[in-house]
């Protein structure tokens, strides 16, 4: 950002360091920290000398809790981890367990999973966009974003019964099939959403204030981004085309046609543009998934793992027995360990699952993308103005539930 | 009734009412919440202010970032043990009259997280006026809770809500001085030490050594 | 999912090394070719390759894998600790999940540690992202990462007692929370 205005010498910004440094505590209760993040900032005037994140204010002990719950009960816990992308968490955990079990998922279930995950990605990006803009000072975008998000939440609620904590994906398939009328409502959403994206662009992308607040702020080079382990839109904003959907495809993502948006700017603006373009790509995948929805089973053929249909339970003795055993005692998962990565809305969401052959996990660990992305904040914030920290945090799209777990 | 009627006849421009009713009516019509988003419920709390649900209809949409300007604290989400002293301090910083809404199962009872990290109910830290079930509750439920709180406010007396001068973290910093690097940090540590007796250093050391 | 490195990309010839593992993958061969003591054991299961590395060699093995032509594991995706239980010996595992942004393959390195001597060399010098991962593992399991620049608790309060994810730590903690 080079200034073209000639500043009279008496108004020139003093850029020599002051001899006093000030430490301020930013958060944990602060509207722009997206939860309960705390930053310990050492300031030199208004310039940040050092910003040290202090996390753990939302530590929930989830990984411990997993070890005390049966395999299928763990799905409920994953909902509450990254609560903006619960279906992604469901998918990550469920697929890791399915890998250990060696279960093949029917095509319709896979398609619905892809469809719902992409809808969830859009919803997650809506919250990011609304709050990011709100932090920087544009309040209107927030209302527009939540209007669109509400439409997606209605769809998710129609399918799963829950707005934010759906637990829709189960080990071996889905909880239930899509309800009647879902496709019609989804088509309505698909028809209206591109217009909304245009609205967001009108509100923000051409806004000079927004550009000035974001361009050149929070720089992180591609080499540093890889070294810090950044993933998702943050990495792609630094010009690296890495997307787990492409590099390690799952749920037959390799059969979908979509682009991976990248930007070369390495700054907050680049990350903003990557996510904005991802909205359209996700919508493309949703359209494709909708087009290939064919009637078929939504649960794998594994009676010892997958709950039987209600109808079968009433008519078949063995289905009733299986149902009782799964609910009362759970099912055993072969011993072994799996690290399963998926592309969450914030980056590579990895689930490490270790089983010792019993009905409960021996260890479940989540690689939260927000956790890693936040760890690079000190480097991005160093030398920036204190007001820009808010923009940088917004551009990382952190969710404290996932960071602290 | 007699006195009221006489006054109304003699002075038609004067309206008589109970002071409690008047003040409570004013209070309930603009309950300003403190932005205290913790977890999943915070997103639904944000949703309650958005276009579809519009909490502004009930005079409660002005979320204040500073607890000094807030009337009601909506504890939206799970409270971890690390967060609990912070939450208490924010509550102490709010001026009277103040109310607390415990939003969601986690804030109310710990929810599904019955473990070492989560405080099993925020009412162990602050007095709660309205509990909302749900995980997370829908925005409509939050609006309902706000309206229940408004009913409760109407039943209160002004004398119930007096600002007691609790000693706060503020008093250690003389007015006019900059919060230096050491001061705020030590205060924080001291406050945490004070409010968390289960971390007494001596016992700590004992357990570690044994 | 191609978890395993593709065989034609290995620079070293797998056939030339004598390996004790039944199906030596090119990566294992490359590691053994570089330094035979780096590979203590190899597990191939569920399409994933796990190399158990003696703890004193983990940094060198990581440094080699980060830059070795043909492998280029330039990103550390994850570090996570595992507690096998207090009765097991060695008790702790530390898993390093490596990923290559150029070749898109993954591998898991594993270090096993005894309870009495749960020390392992820090890999923060190889990847800076290891910083928080190692702090988390220390916080949750009490594994000490030697040479870590800032090894303190990250998720739990600084004055917490015990390490929460150890199997002998009770789920509900030692005592219920109270403010007074």
Measured distance CA(A66)–CA(B58) in Å, rounded: 41
Q: Is the pLDDT of residue A15 over 80?
A: no
Per-residue pLDDT of chain B (210 residues; tens, 9 = 90+): 678 788 888 888 888 888 888 988 988 888 888 878 888 888 898 888 888 888 888 888 888 888 888 889 999 888 888 888 888 888 888 888 889 999 999 899 888 888 888 888 888 888 899 999 988 899 999 999 999 999 998 888 887 776 655 554 444 434 443 333 334 444 555 544 444 433 333 333 433 443
Alpha carbon A166 to its chain centroid, in Å, reads 15
| Residue scoring higher pLDDT (A155 or A18) | A155
Specify the pLDDT at position A187: 93
Specify the pLDDT at position C18: 36
Specify the pLDDT at position C172: 84
Q: What are residue A299's DSSP bridge partners? A: A173
Distance from CA of A7 to the nearest CA of B (A): 30
| Confidence band for A184, pLDDT divided at 50, 70 and 90 | very high
Nearest to B114 among C159, C164, C172 (CB): C172
Q: Does A404 reach chain C within 8 Å, measured CB to CB?
A: yes
Measured distance CA(A378)–CA(A370) in Å, rounded: 14
**H helix runs in C1-97, sequence order:** 26-34, 58-67
Q: Is the pLDDT of residue A13 over 80?
A: no
Nearest to B82 among A59, A163, A401 (CB): A59
- Tracing tokens 């730590």 back to the chain, one arrives at C169
Chain B residues with beta carbon closer than 8 angstroms to that of C180? 197
Q: Is the pLDDT of residue A111 over 90?
A: yes
Q: Does C87 reach chain B within 8 Å, measured CB to CB?
A: no
> Which two tokens mark B77?
């989400």
Chain B residues with beta carbon closer than 8 angstroms to that of C161? 199, 204, 207-208
Find the helix or strand (DSSP H, E) in which C44 lies: strand C41-45
* Chains in touch with A (≥3 Cβ pairs < 8 A): B, C
| Residue scoring higher pLDDT (A196 or C13) | A196
Judged by CB atoms closer than 8 Å, whether chains meet at A339 and C78 is answered as yes
* Chains in touch with B (≥3 Cβ pairs < 8 A): A, C
Judged by CB atoms closer than 8 Å, whether chains meet at C164 and B117 is answered as yes
Measured distance CA(C176)–CA(B123) in Å, rounded: 14
Find the helix or strand (DSSP H, E) in which C121 lies: strand C119-121
Specify the pLDDT at position A1: 47
Judged by CB atoms closer than 8 Å, whether chains meet at B50 and A56 is answered as no
Specify the pLDDT at position C157: 86
Kindly write down the DSSP assignment for every residue of A26-54, as one continuous string: E-SS-GGGSSS-EEEEEEETTEEEEEEEE
Could you report the per-residue pLDDT of A288-312, keeping only the tens digit for each?
999 999 898 988 888 888 888 888 8
Nearest to B40 among A40, A80, A404 (CB): A80
Torsions phi, psi for A268 (to 5 deg): -60, -40
Per cent of chain A over pLDDT 70 is 95
The CA dihedral of B111, B91, A48, C131, to the nearest 10 degrees, is -30
Specify the pLDDT at position A10: 63
| Confidence band for C132, pLDDT divided at 50, 70 and 90 | very high
Specify the pLDDT at position B87: 87
User: Whose CA is closest to C41, among C115, C119, C114, C111?
Assistant: C111
DSSP letter for A176, please: S
DSSP letter for B54, please: -
Q: Does C11 reach chain B within 8 Å, measured CB to CB?
A: no
CB-based contact C106:C99 (threshold 8 Å): yes
Could you report the per-residue pLDDT of A234-260, keeping only the tens digit for each?
999 998 898 999 888 988 898 999 999
Q: Is the pLDDT of residue A268 over 70?
A: yes
Q: Is the pLDDT of residue C45 over 90?
A: no
| Confidence band for A14, pLDDT divided at 50, 70 and 90 | low
Judged by CB atoms closer than 8 Å, whether chains meet at A36 and B43 is answered as no
Alpha carbon B103 to its chain centroid, in Å, reads 11
Chain C residues with beta carbon closer than 8 angstroms to that of A367? 77-78, 80, 97
Judged by CB atoms closer than 8 Å, whether chains meet at A142 and B50 is answered as yes
Average pLDDT (A367-380) is: 91
Measured distance CA(C32)–CA(A160) in Å, rounded: 51
- In whole angstroms, how far apart are CA A145 and each of A134, A197, B5, B46? 11, 9, 54, 12
- Tracing tokens 């204030």 back to the chain, one arrives at A209
Q: Is the pLDDT of residue A352 over 90?
A: yes
- Select from B116, B128, B201 the residue whose CB has the most chain C CBs within 10 Å, as the one to mutate to test that interface: B116
Distance from CA of B144 to the nearest CA of C (A): 30
Nearest to A350 among C47, C74, C97 (CB): C97
Q: Does A341 reach chain C within 8 Å, measured CB to CB?
A: yes
- Select from A99, A337, A351, A376 the residue whose CB has the most chain C CBs within 10 Å, as the one to mutate to test that interface: A337
| Residue scoring higher pLDDT (A186 or A19) | A186
- Tracing tokens 């205290």 back to the chain, one arrives at B36
pLDDT, averaged across chain A: 88
């Amino acid at each position: 950002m080079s200034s073209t205005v000639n500043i009279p010498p008496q108004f020139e910004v003093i850029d020599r360091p002051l001899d006093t440094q000030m430490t301020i505590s930013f958060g944990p209760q602060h509207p722009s920290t997206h939860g309960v993040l705390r930053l310990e900032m050492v300031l030199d005037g208004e310039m940040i000398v050092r910003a040290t994140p202090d996390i753990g204010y939302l530590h929930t002990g989830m990984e411990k809790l997993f070890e005390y719950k049966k395999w299928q009960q763990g799905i409920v816990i994953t909902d509450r981890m990254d609560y903006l992308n619960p279906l992604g968490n469901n998918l990550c955990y469920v697929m890791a367990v399915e890998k250990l079990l060696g279960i093949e998922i029917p095509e319709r279930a896979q398609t619905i999973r892809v469809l719902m995950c992409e809808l969830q990605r859009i919803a997650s990006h809506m919250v990011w966009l609304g709050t990011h803009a709100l932090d920087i000072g544009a309040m209107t975008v927030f209302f527009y974003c939540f209007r669109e998000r509400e439409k997606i939440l209605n769809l998710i609620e129609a399918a799963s019964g829950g707005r934010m904590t759906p637990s829709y994906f189960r080990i071996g398939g889905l909880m239930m099939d899509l309800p009647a009328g879902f496709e019609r409502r989804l088509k309505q959403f698909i028809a209206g959403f591109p217009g909304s994206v245009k609205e967001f662009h009108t509100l923000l992308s051409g806004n000079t204030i927004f550009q000035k607040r974001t361009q050149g702020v929070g720089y992180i080079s591609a080499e540093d981004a890889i070294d810090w382990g950044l993933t998702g839109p943050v990495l792609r904003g630094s010009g690296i085309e890495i997307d787990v959907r492409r590099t390690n495809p799952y749920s037959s993502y390799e059969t979908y046609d979509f682009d991976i948006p990248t930007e070369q700017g390495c700054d907050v603006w680049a990350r903003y543009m990557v996510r904005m373009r991802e909205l359209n790509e996700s919508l493309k995948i949703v359209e494709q998934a909708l087009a290939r929805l064919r009637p078929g089973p939504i649960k794998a053929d594994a009676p010892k793992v997958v709950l039987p249909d209600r109808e079968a339970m009433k008519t078949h003795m063995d289905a009733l027995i299986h149902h009782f055993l799964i609910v009362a005692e759970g099912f055993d998962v072969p011993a072994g360990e799996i690290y399963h990565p998926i592309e969450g809305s914030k980056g590579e969401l990895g689930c490490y699952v270790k089983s010792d052959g019993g009905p409960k996990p021996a260890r479940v660990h989540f690689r939260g993308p927000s956790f890693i992305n936040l760890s690079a904040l000190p480097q991005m914030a160093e030398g920036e103005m204190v007001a820009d920290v808010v923009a940088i945090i917004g551009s990382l799209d952190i969710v404290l539930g996932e960071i602290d777990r | 009734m007699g006195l009221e009627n006489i006054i109304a006849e003699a002075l038609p421009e004067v309206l008589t009412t109970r002071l409690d009713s008047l003040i409570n009516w004013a209070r309930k019509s603009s309950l300003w919440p403190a932005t205290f988003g913790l977890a999943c419920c915070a997103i639904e709390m944000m949703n309650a202010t958005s276009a579809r649900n519009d909490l502004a209809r009930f005079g409660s949409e002005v979320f204040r970032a500073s607890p000094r300007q807030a009337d009601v604290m909506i504890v939206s989400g799970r409270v971890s043990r690390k967060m609990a002293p912070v939450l208490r301090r924010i509550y102490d910083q709010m001026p009277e009259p103040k109310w607390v809404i415990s939003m969601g199962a986690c804030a109310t009872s710990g929810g599904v997280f019955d473990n070492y990290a989560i405080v099993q109910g925020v009412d162990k830290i602050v007095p709660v006026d309205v509990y909302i079930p749900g995980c997370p509750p829908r925005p409509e439920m939050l609006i309902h809770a706000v309206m229940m709180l408004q009913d409760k406010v109407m039943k209160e007396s002004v004398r119930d809500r007096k600002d007691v001068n609790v000693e706060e973290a503020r008093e250690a910093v003389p007015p006019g001085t900059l919060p230096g690097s050491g001061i705020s940090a030590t205060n924080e540590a001291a406050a945490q030490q004070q409010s968390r007796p289960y971390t007494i250093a001596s016992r700590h050391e004992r357990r570690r050594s044994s | 999912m191609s978890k395993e490195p593709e065989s034609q990309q290995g620079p070293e010839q797998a056939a030339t090394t004598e390996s004790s593992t039944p199906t030596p993958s090119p990566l294992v061969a490359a590691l053994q070719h570089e330094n035979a003591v780096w590979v203590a054991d190899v597990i191939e299961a569920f399409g994933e390759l796990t190399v158990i590395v003696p703890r004193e060699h983990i940094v060198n093995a990581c440094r080699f894998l980060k830059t070795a032509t043909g492998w280029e594991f330039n990103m550390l995706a994850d570090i996570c600790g595992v507690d096998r239980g207090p009765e097991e010996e060695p008790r702790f595992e530390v898993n390093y999940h490596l990923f290559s942004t150029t070749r898109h393959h993954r591998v898991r390195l594993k270090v096993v540690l005894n309870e009495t001597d749960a020390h392992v060399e820090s890999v923060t010098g190889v990847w800076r992202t290891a910083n928080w991962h190692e702090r988390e593992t220390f916080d949750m399991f009490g594994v000490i990462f030697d040479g870590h620049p800032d090894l303190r608790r990250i998720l739990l309060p600084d004055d917490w007692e015990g390490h929460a994810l150890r199997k002998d730590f009770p789920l509900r903690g030692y005592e219920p929370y109270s403010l007074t």
